[in-house]
Amino acid sequence: MGRILLVLRLVVADVRRHPAQAAILLVSITAATAMLSLGGSLHGATEKLYRHTRAATAGPDVVAYSPGTRRTTITALESLGRAPGVVAHSGPHRQYYTTLTAHGATGAAVVQVADQAPGPVGRPLLTSGGWVRPGGVVIERGFATALGVRVGDRVTVAGRSLPVTGIAVTAARSVYPWAPGIGPHGGPSDGGGLVWAAERDTRALESPDVPVTSFINLRLRDPAAARAFTTRDPAIAPAFEHTWVNVRAWQDVARQDSVMLRDSQPILVIGSWLLAFLAIGGLATLAAGRAAAQTRRVGLLKAVGAAPGLIAAVLFAEYVTLALLADALGLAAARLIEPAIVNPSASLITTATGPSAGTIVLTTTAALAVAVLTTLGPTVRALRTETVAALADGAREPQHRAHLTRISALMPTSLLLGIRLIARRPGRAVLHACGTAATMATVTGLMVIYAQPAKGYPGSPMANELRDAQQHHVILAVTAALIALAAVNTLTATWTTAEEARRTMAVARTLGATPGQVTAGLSAAQVLPTLPGALAGIPMGLILCLPFSGPDTIWPPAWSLLAAALTAPPVTAALAAIPARAAARRPVASTLSAEVP
């Protein structure tokens, strides 16, 4: 118990002493685990929400549509309600194809005639307000969200202004904007939102110019057999002899709902890999920067009689604790963000269940792996260092690169210092270049997606716009997260370089290097690896896009990709200048006089 308390006390003391480092670690791992959790949660997420909505709204197993309202049409649909295997039904009802105007925006709408009390199958769930009453309409939530409509607002349906009495969700139809289920006259649907209105209010829609379709909601004894039912089961064949009937199983509705996420999941999964890579790079740099201080800490602990096991526990405990905290934060963030991603049209119940046990295990393992892998090297090195040597100076010997040193002699002072800083720790420069390449690869992916024209598939142009928008939002979020983490990494790398080389830079100051030259040198050490990294990121990004491309894919012009890559060095320089400037202004005398660097 005493040992555990001692370890905890040392961990807390170190975190208090280096809050910025703890914050960097938290941010890096949180971003990576959140993205990993989102990527892992998306598989089957919409289907899960659909099932919840279906359960809450007594969703039908099959919906049968038939154009028109003639007697034969109604008879055919009613015969389906009595077909073998059907245990309950609602309808037939009518739906009119018209438009709805709200807040100056007009959208295609399907107005369903609603009973005062919904039937046993397909009972829309009100998420706000009340159910349909004469002189008021209920709007499907996805449609209401798209139009920015709330309960109490007035909307115009077929030229008639009506108040919105409620907002509801239903599993009887696909998510907005695939609500019509079937287009006018039995043809393909142009998409649109769903509105429920009292019969009295739909009378104005009865006109030869307004297409109308009849439909019936069916519940089967065996919901799993809904697909077989729709493929012209011999038992229901008589219904189709004289009337054109379109039947849709609940599985088809669920599948269509998930189309919205089809392109988002790979973006999130690949994004989480890249973020994890950046997190590892950033933390490895951070751990390396702290190596000297950690080695001296080990020396102190050894000197007071701490056993290697206790020392290792102290060194690992901090990163592992912070990694677990970051993992929890990442999972919580993913839990909050998930509904917006899996339910972009808001047409389903947003009772996100959060990450699965598998996802939690995956993210926790990843977070712990990042923490352990980045601290393992410095910890082992520190434990192997002799006590006296550890107390004296724990810094790892920098490398001598005669070739780079000779080349740098030809350069102006800032570049000379920058190249020599790279030559001290070339591995760090490679890591930084790889991080830049990962970020640039994502930016390239973003540019490729933005280069594609809005497709507007026949049938549901609105749906494709929404899907494109969803895809754009997801990759924009991934890119923003990557750029933010790359920025944090740049700050970390510059700070680490400045920490490790502070004596060297102080010596350079005594020899006549100005603070500006030292700042520029520290920045140059970050900027020089950025350019090759950014250039390498372009083909990397294009390769990542290849599996999702086709013959009609439009690739962004080379100049635009090159221009994007060329913005990386100045952005890096600006970021690196912040810690570099602070480091260059450190008093030279105290840096050189300090026993402990």
Residues that bind another protein (CB under 8 A): 397-402, 405-406, 409-410, 413, 416, 420, 423-424, 503-504, 506-517, 585, 587-589, 592-593
- 585 burial (CB, 10 Å; 0-12 / 13-18 / 19+) is exposed
Query: 241 vs 595, which CB is nearer to another protein?
Result: 595
CA diameter of the chain: 100
Bridge partners (DSSP) of residue 62 are 218, 249
Query: 238 vs 516, which CB is nearer to another protein?
Result: 516
Query: 486 vs 506, which CB is nearer to another protein?
Result: 506
Least gap, CB of 465 to another protein (angstroms): 57
Query: 360 vs 407, which CB is nearer to another protein?
Result: 407
Least gap, CB of 506 to another protein (angstroms): 8
Query: 38 vs 506, which CB is nearer to another protein?
Result: 506
CA 476/CA 482 separation, integer angstroms: 10
3-state secondary structure at position 91: strand
CA 375/CA 288 separation, integer angstroms: 8
Least gap, CB of 380 to another protein (angstroms): 22
Distant-in-sequence, close-in-space partners of 93: CB < 8 Å, separation ≥ 6: 112, 113, 114, 214, 215, 216
Least gap, CB of 515 to another protein (angstroms): 5
Least gap, CB of 419 to another protein (angstroms): 12
Least gap, CB of 405 to another protein (angstroms): 6
Query: 325 vs 411, which CB is nearer to another protein?
Result: 411
CA 217/CA 90 separation, integer angstroms: 5
Distant-in-sequence, close-in-space partners of 257: CB < 8 Å, separation ≥ 6: 46, 47, 49, 50, 174, 175, 347, 348
Distant-in-sequence, close-in-space partners of 420: CB < 8 Å, separation ≥ 6: 404, 405, 408, 521
Is the sign of the CA dihedral 126, 128, 132, 137 positive or negative?
negative
Query: 396 vs 472, which CB is nearer to another protein?
Result: 396
Q: Are strands 125-129 and 105-114 parallel, antiparallel or unpaired?
A: unpaired
CA 77/CA 20 separation, integer angstroms: 68
Query: 123 vs 420, which CB is nearer to another protein?
Result: 420
Phi, psi of 212 (to 5 degrees): -140, 145
3-state secondary structure at position 122: coil
Query: 71 vs 400, which CB is nearer to another protein?
Result: 400
Least gap, CB of 29 to another protein (angstroms): 32
Count of H-run helices and E-run strands, the chain: 20, 10
Query: 39 vs 418, which CB is nearer to another protein?
Result: 418
- 174 burial (CB, 10 Å; 0-12 / 13-18 / 19+) is buried
Q: Are strands 125-129 and 62-67 parallel, antiparallel or unpaired?
A: unpaired
CA 345/CA 267 separation, integer angstroms: 19
Least gap, CB of 594 to another protein (angstroms): 10
Least gap, CB of 397 to another protein (angstroms): 7
Least gap, CB of 8 to another protein (angstroms): 33
